[in-house]
Amino acid sequence: MRRTVLVLAALAGLALLSACTRPPPGAYAHDTDSPQSASGRQLALGKNTSGETCTASRTTSGGALIYCGSWHQPSAEVHAGPEANRANLNAIVTRGNWRAGLEQRYACGNPKPTTVLGRYPGEVLLCTQRIGGWPHVALAALIRGHVWFADGVQPAFPAMERAVGVISGAVPAADAGAMTTSVSDSQLADRLAAAAFTSGDIHEYGKLMTLGNRSNQAEDYPAAITAYRAALALQQKALGPENPNTVTPMLDLALNLSDQGDYSQADALLAQAAKLAPLAVDPTAVARLDHYRGLDQLNQGHDRRALRLLSAANRDYASLLPRSVLRPHPAATGSDDGFGLSAGSRGGSLLAAQSTLLSPIGQQALLGVIETLRYEGVVLDAAGHHKQAAVKIDRASAIASANGIAPPVLRARLDRSTAAVDTAFDRTASAAARLAQASYDFEHALPGSRPVADTHLLRGGVLDLAGQPGKALEACRAGIKLLARLRLGTSAALVAPCLDAANREAEKNPARAGVLRAEMFAMAELAQGSTTSREIAESAARLAADSKSPKVAAAIRAHQDAVIALSRLYRERDGIAHERQATPAAINAIDMKIAAATRRLAEADESVEAAAPNFGQLVQQVVPAGTVLDRLRPGEAFLDIMPAPDGTWTFLLHDGRIAVAHTKVDETRMTALVRKVRQSVVPTQAGLPTFAMTSAEAIYRATLAPFATDLAKTTAMVVSPAGALLSLPFALLPTEPVAPGTPLAKVPWLIRKMTLVYVPAAANFVSLRAIAGTSPAKQPWFGFGDFKNTSLAQAEATFSGPSCGDSARLFAGLPHLPYAKLELDAARAIFKAPASDELLGAAFTVPNVEHADLKQYRILHFATHALLPSELPCAHEPAIVTSPPPGARSAANSMLTTSDITNLKLNADLVILSACNTGGGDGKAGGEALSGLARAFFFAGARALMVTQWSVNDQVSSYLVATTLTHLASSTGEGAAASLRSAQLDLIRGAASGTLPAKLADPFFWAPFVVIGDGGQGTRNLAK
């Protein structure tokens, strides 16, 4: 089960001083405790080294705040120091209070003597923000027997020098702007000359990091990823891709990618961060690396690895803090805004601890200790070690309370974790109270967000356990309503207890059973939200608009293309930035493309808002059960399946009513059953294994058997599976117990009773049913196949390096598919298509596919190899194998990737992917609904897909597809799913009668193909 991860990166912004934004004026290094406030008129200070105009405002304490460019926060500050002389200036700068305050926030080198304003002695320090990583500079000038201190962002150094002159009285205010400054230190001069950033860059970085933190706290991972990715790009552009101090946004981006399930990208970023973290000036960087790696492993279900990494991170964080801070003591006064410590009641050790915690590093480290302890508790609780979990979580809470840390989000997280342990010990009243408080705190800090909704659902489950079904349903409804409004999904683990409560209420109150079951159906839908279902919904809305207003459809497509293009450029930038040979010119070039793509996206946003202001409302996450029932045809049923930790929930919508069943086969057991069935259809060197009939029977009993009466009247069924069931064709489930030794040709397979079609979610069924068979394309069919192999040299040019040798050899050695050519020949004859409506052999190349006008064809038919990254490790995305273009030096244009497919402009009723495993899925729980290939075709403009769930036999696949197309082209008006069923039954009957080999009755041969999106029956004849 995938667990929701709430990360430390979001909490960093709740500290007294944000880790990501420029501190307010009072946070600069002072020799006194009193912050400065600006007063009086602005003083012109000329330009900084980045060409921004700078001004200064005098402060009430006799100093100045310096502002450069459009940044609303001060770029630098000047204030008066003590009396001094040349002899003790270095000691003041090295050991005084000013230097101590500076070191809390910046890592500074040794002071170096310099000359200020051409004649006054001074000391300059080159620094780096400990948290944030931006270069900083500090200056101490001795003018007329007094020290003047200044510090600020690096480009502000000339303005700092001029401001010191004005504030000290050494330079008339009127002359400051035109005054020439002198930099006598060559290192500072080089650093200033190399500065490639402005105060505005730092301001923009701060805004992006704040937005990322806020989005992360709200568990809006796509928005957080966008913000963190932009922040990382900005900082890498300014400081260089290999600068260790870019590790903060890199880690935040990696973790949010992991939270969204993009583990490969997260792994690449974490590997890069592992090289940078030990060299960063932020002392918490290494601890945070282990912390985020631990959370990434927790996301992936590797609990033992997660626990080891979290424990290591906890030790590293703790090493940065005084022991007294980590020793729980009576609670101090809390602060909602940051770290509040009670006044000195524990003597010198407390004062030392307070001093540590007043620094951003101390705050970051303490938050890290608390969060890693809490997550250790989460992992232990999930593993059943409830007492150990309670110890960890109680200690985290005690440390937070003892140090007066009380921001609402942290309180809410601790309360949620404690409630989980309370529930394990049957302390349901305590758990419910804690979750009520957590809901309040989340709502206070993050109103109307996913954490609020999920906490409502958690509380509903606890109240149900406490025997309060009425209150449980009330809490569940609050969470479901909010998620529906946000168009967000959630986990089956959170929804299942709410289904329990609603089901018991329906059993007690038969008069309201129909209403309650419809409500339960809507709850279960939220557990099936996925990237696939959202993309299908968006594409279906676009295709629906196309039939009414092509301009609206074009605006929607332009917006979708702009989103994809920008995301692709950021990925490309990530790859360039990680290369050892990355040059500033290469990074600058991609940054310019990103800037242009960002502008195009903004323009596309405006266009789609003007053309289709209700587009967002058309992309539905949840549809009422009544709407699904209205779309069903006579004899058709809709089956929704939600495996959960406590069993499997199934909903059958048929003949105007909703039936609900709950069986005890939980998601772990279901995954094991599916894996056994899939393993039994994978050929070995010894041949095909014996089909796992017992496991297939168990799956049928857990999903369909409870609806035997309804199924007896069903001739077609739309299936919306989840978890491991996404990778299983239901056609191969036996509807009755099968006696040992029964020939496979005689087994009562489900396909014998009904047509089967699949959708990722109910909302997709509704939207795809509305546009099924509506393509305005005039031509019936276009085919692709008979690929020619690349040479080993071409493959090695693409899959280079020692680790990719196997990938290169596998790609170059892909076997020829002789029956694929026969399959396409048969299809062309069936549809009476001209030879020009094919790309075969050497003509089947990526450029030729991209240049073909495919919008004119209702059926697109690919008969070739398809490869997923799991099969070709050095491939970055799924691809359809094509021939190499003439003269190609590499295999790059021999793979039609998902990126290439999303750029295609289609308007097809059906796309056939007659290749290996084009539907994706490997029997694991929680996978995406479709492979990237299939999703890309939906995005490009397909209304239905015919794909495979495992590697297919070339000869039998050609027979099945050709027979399917024969039925599809017939005058009976069968849809694609019904035509596939007819072909599968022909194969099974042929094996039974002896007209075909008996072995073809094995599901390996006839069951791999499924249809996604087609309504099943009654679709108009696609061949006409």
Pairing of the two strands 636-644 and 146-153? unpaired
Q: Give pLDDT, residue 665.
A: 96
Distance, CA of 664 to CA of 641 (rounded, Å): 13
Question: Could you please report the per-residue DSSP string of 24-37?
Answer: PGGGS--SSSPPP-
Chain position carrying tokens 């007209």 = 995
CB distance 160 to 139 below 8 Å = yes
118: phi > 0 → left, psi -120 to 50 → alpha, else beta; which? left
Distance, CA of 68 to CA of 983 (rounded, Å): 73
Instruction: Tally helices (H) and strands (E) across the chain.
Output: 39, 23
Whether the pLDDT of residue 17 is over 50: the answer is no
Question: Which is more confidently placed, 927 or 976?
Answer: 976
Q: Which of 816, 726, 87, 4 is nearest to 375 (CA)?
A: 4
Q: Give pLDDT, residue 485.
A: 86
Distance, CA of 155 to CA of 49 (rounded, Å): 5
Q: Which two tokens stand for residue 646?
A: 């406590």
488: phi > 0 → left, psi -120 to 50 → alpha, else beta; which? beta
Share of the chain above pLDDT 70, in %: 84
The 8 Å CB, 24+ separation contacts for 15-19 are 15/338, 15/339, 15/360, 15/363, 15/364, 15/367, 16/337, 16/338, 16/339, 16/358, 16/363, 17/105, 17/338, 17/360, 17/363, 18/206, 18/210, 19/131, 19/132, 19/209, 19/248, 19/360, 19/364
Q: Give pLDDT, residue 793.
A: 94
CA 1014 to chain centre: 29
3-state secondary structure 464-484: HHCCCHHHHHHHHHHHHHHHH
Q: Give pLDDT, residue 951.
A: 83
Q: Please state which of the ranges 310-314, 532-536, 979-983 shows the lowest mean pLDDT.
A: 532-536
Q: Give pLDDT, residue 836.
A: 95
CB distance 1019 to 951 below 8 Å = no
Q: Which of 5, 8, 104, 3 is nearest to 370 (CA)?
A: 8
**CA–CA distance from 258 to each of 67, 91, 253, 564, 980 (Å)?**
39, 49, 9, 19, 38
Whether the pLDDT of residue 497 is over 90: the answer is yes
CB distance 622 to 525 below 8 Å = yes
23: phi > 0 → left, psi -120 to 50 → alpha, else beta; which? beta
Question: Could you please report the per-residue DSSP string of 842-859?
Answer: GG--HHHHHHS-GGGEEE
Distance, CA of 700 to CA of 732 (rounded, Å): 10
CB distance 1018 to 633 below 8 Å = yes
CB distance 690 to 738 below 8 Å = no
917: phi > 0 → left, psi -120 to 50 → alpha, else beta; which? left
CB distance 126 to 108 below 8 Å = yes
Q: Which of 362, 283, 295, 286 is nearest to 326 (CA)?
A: 362
* Residue-wise pLDDT tens digits, 907-930: 999 999 987 655 555 544 433 434
* Residue-wise pLDDT tens digits, 194-250: 556 777 788 889 889 988 998 898 888 888 998 898 899 889 888 888 899 999 999
* Residue-wise pLDDT tens digits, 119-143: 899 999 999 988 888 999 999 999 9
* Residue-wise pLDDT tens digits, 424-462: 999 999 999 999 999 999 999 999 999 999 999 999 999
Distance, CA of 557 to CA of 539 (rounded, Å): 8
Confidence of residue 559 (pLDDT cuts 50, 70, 90): confident
CA-only gyration radius of the chain, Å: 32
Distance, CA of 227 to CA of 636 (rounded, Å): 45
Question: Could you please report the per-residue DSSP string of 879-942?
Answer: EEE-PPPTT-SSSGGGEEEHHHHHT----BSEEEEESTTTT---S-TT--SS-HHHHHHHHHTB
CB distance 695 to 896 below 8 Å = no
Question: Which is more confidently placed, 336 or 857?
Answer: 857
pTM of the model: 0.81
CA angle 538, 544, 546 (to 5 degrees): 105
Question: Could you please report the per-residue DSSP string of 537-597?
Answer: HHHHHHHHHHHH-HHHHHHHHHHHHHHHHHHHHHHHHHHHHHSTT--HHHHHHHHHHHHHH
Q: Please state which of the ranges 16-30, 610-624, 990-1004 shows the lowest mean pLDDT.
A: 16-30
Q: Which of 637, 652, 659, 631 is nearest to 718 (CA)?
A: 637
Distance, CA of 534 to CA of 526 (rounded, Å): 12
